[in-house]
């Protein structure tokens, strides 16, 4: 992993740490249509983009790819917690 990729990932981790409590608060029982969770995910993406703007293009790309991956996993986990995930198993 290059220094730029590490820097990109650190930006993402910083944003995730700042939003972790907010995601915890958007518990699924109080967010039946996922509107709070979706808004937090969108805000997290925007924060990654904003903080990554100061990085090199390669680091920005790494940050966005890493954020998209982690946010996708997070969204899938939220669906699974609600029992709305893939039920083919």
What's the pTM?
Answer: 0.69
Confidence of residue 86 (pLDDT cuts 50, 70, 90): low
Distance from C-alpha of 29 to C-alpha of 46, rounded to nearest angstrom:
26
Question: Minimal CA–CA distance to 64: which of 36, 80, 83, 45?
Answer: 45
More confident residue, 68 or 24: 68
pLDDT digits (tens, 9 = 90+) for 26-82: 566 677 787 888 888 888 899 999 999 999 999 999 999 989 988 888 788 777 777
Helix ranges (H only) for 1-89 are: 3-25, 35-52, 57-81
The domain locations on the chain are 3-79
Helix (H, G, I), strand (E, B) or coil at 78: helix
């Amino acid at each position: 992993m290059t220094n730029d990729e590490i820097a990109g990932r650190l930006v993402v981790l910083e944003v995730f740490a700042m939003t972790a409590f907010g995601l915890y608060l958007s518990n699924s029982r109080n967010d039946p249509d996922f509107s709070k969770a979706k808004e937090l995910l969108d805000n997290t993406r925007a924060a990654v983009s904003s903080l990554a703007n100061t990085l090199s293009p390669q680091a920005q790309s790494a940050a966005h790819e890493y954020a998209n991956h982690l946010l996708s996993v997070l969204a899938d986990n939220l669906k699974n917690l609600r029992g709305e995930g893939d039920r083919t198993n």
